[in-house]
């Protein structure tokens, strides 16, 4: 019998793909989303239309900052796993509207921690970000690296989520896994992300903005690989202090709590201009480029060490950028009829 899972942010880019995969695998999914207008709500509704075709999907419309909603979830639904993805995303928007990040990412996550405590879930999994590595330049980034120098308020809220989760894990014995995502892309992506913006501009014959004059590297992670890793991690529950045996030296498992953090990335960083080249090839268009300086809050490079992910799940993300970008373009042309 498949488990019942609560997924927050179910109409979002990652949440949609995760819910769809879990429903296809036979899970019963309670999906929670506020359908905020940070970007096109029609895109979110189109995702939900697909999820609602599954008889084992239960839609809940509401905001995780609402304590009453979380009480309702506790009283009306049975689930033993929570995958918390709902958040205010984006580095640049956090510079313009930090208070929104405080409310959603801090207060909202607190409510989910409380929900996990009340329901005594077997496993809580939550989304963090590679941005928590901040000003670190020693690469690849490992989960055991110190990460106290975040470069944006978005990253600061995500680091705070990790710390909050650790305290709940220690005090209440809740098994918690936090994942740090590395530049996720693919079909149904967010319109504020580079691939989406570049595609829209290039099809309209408009220039694209290239920051730091293109001297940037990213560990681009295709959405299907990310989702596959999350599904595997749901069954990889951090053991209690009393029950554990010696693990690999690179394990981030806490000394005092059933808590760990796991990188999910492709572990093959590429230059931003290679990414643009893959897009030009997929569209058969040469991009007009605005070469600009680095943006505030941004970092020059990311690179995930995924030894821990492989050790825990036996899985290595493997989709290359050319393949992933082509799949995004195929979806984009079909969805927007261009």
Three-state SS for the chain is CCCEEEEECCCCHHHHHHHHHHHHCCCEEEEEECCCCCCCHHHHHHHHHHHCCCCCEEEEECCCCCHHHHHHHHHHCCCCEEEECCCCCCHHHHHHCHHHHHHHHHHHHHHHHHHHHHHCCCEEEEEEEHHHHCCCCCCCECCCCCCCCCCCHHHHHHHHHHHHHHHHHHHHCCCEEEEEECCEECCCCCCCCHHHHHHHHHHCCCCEEEHHHHCCEECCEEHHHHHHHHHHHHCCCCCCCCCCCCCCCCCCCCCCCCEEEEEECCCCCEEHHHHHHHHHHHHCCCCCEEECCCCCCCCCECCECCHHHHHHHCCCCCCCHHHHHHHHHHHHHHHHCC
User: Which member of 38, 93, 133, 154 is catalytic?
Assistant: 154
33/6 Cα distance (integer angstroms):
11
Q: Is the peptide bond before 140 cis (omega within 30 degrees of 0)?
A: yes
b/e string for 288-306 if b means 16 or more Cβ within 10 A? eeeeeeeeebebebbbbbb
Let me know: does 226 contact 50? Beta carbons within 8 Å.
no
Let me know: does 276 contact 158? Beta carbons within 8 Å.
no
Does the annotation count 275 as an active-site position?
no
State the CB neighbour count (10 A cutoff) for residue 148: 9
133/270 Cα distance (integer angstroms):
18
- Catalytic residue list: 154
């Amino acid at each position: 019998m498949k488990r019942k899972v609560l997924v927050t942010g179910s109409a979002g880019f990652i949440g949609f793909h995760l819910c769809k995969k879990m429903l296809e695998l036979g899970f019963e999914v309670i999906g929670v989303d506020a359908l905020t207008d940070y970007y096109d709500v029609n895109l979110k509704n189109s995702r939900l239309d697909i999820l609602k075709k599954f008889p084992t999907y239960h839609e809940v419309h509401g905001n995780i900052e609402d304590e009453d909603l979380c009480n309702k979830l506790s009283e009306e639904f049975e689930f033993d796993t929570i995958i918390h993805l709902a958040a205010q995303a984006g580095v640049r928007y956090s510079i313009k509207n930090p208070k929104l990040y405080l409310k959603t990412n801090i207060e909202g996550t607190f409510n989910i921690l409380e929900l996990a405590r009340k329901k005594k879930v077997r496993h809580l999994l939550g989304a963090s970000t590679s941005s928590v590595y901040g000003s670190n330049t020693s690469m690849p980034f490992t989960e055991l690296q110190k990460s106290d120098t975040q470069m944006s308020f978005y990253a600061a809220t995500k680091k705070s989520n990790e710390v909050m989760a650790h305290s709940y894990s220690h005090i209440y014995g809740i098994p918690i896994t936090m994942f740090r995502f590395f530049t996720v892309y693919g079909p149904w992506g967010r319109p504020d992300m580079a691939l989406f913006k570049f595609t829209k501009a290039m099809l309209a014959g408009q220039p694209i903005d290239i920051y730091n004059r293109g001297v940037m590297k990213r560990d681009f992670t295709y959405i299907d690989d990310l989702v596959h890793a999350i599904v595997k991690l749901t069954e990889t529950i951090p053991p209690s202090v009393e029950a554990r045996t010696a693990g690999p030296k690179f394990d981030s498992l806490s000394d005092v709590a059933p808590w760990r953090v796991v990188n999910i990335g492709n572990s093959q960083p590429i230059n931003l201009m290679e990414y643009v080249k893959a897009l030009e090839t997929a569209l058969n268009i040469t991009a007009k480029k605005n070469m600009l300086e680095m943006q505030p809050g941004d970092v020059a490079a990311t690179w995930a060490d995924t030894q821990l992910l492989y050790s825990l799940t036996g899985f290595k993300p493997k989709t290359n950028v050319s393949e992933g970008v082509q799949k995004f373009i195929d979806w984009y042309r079909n969805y927007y009829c261009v």
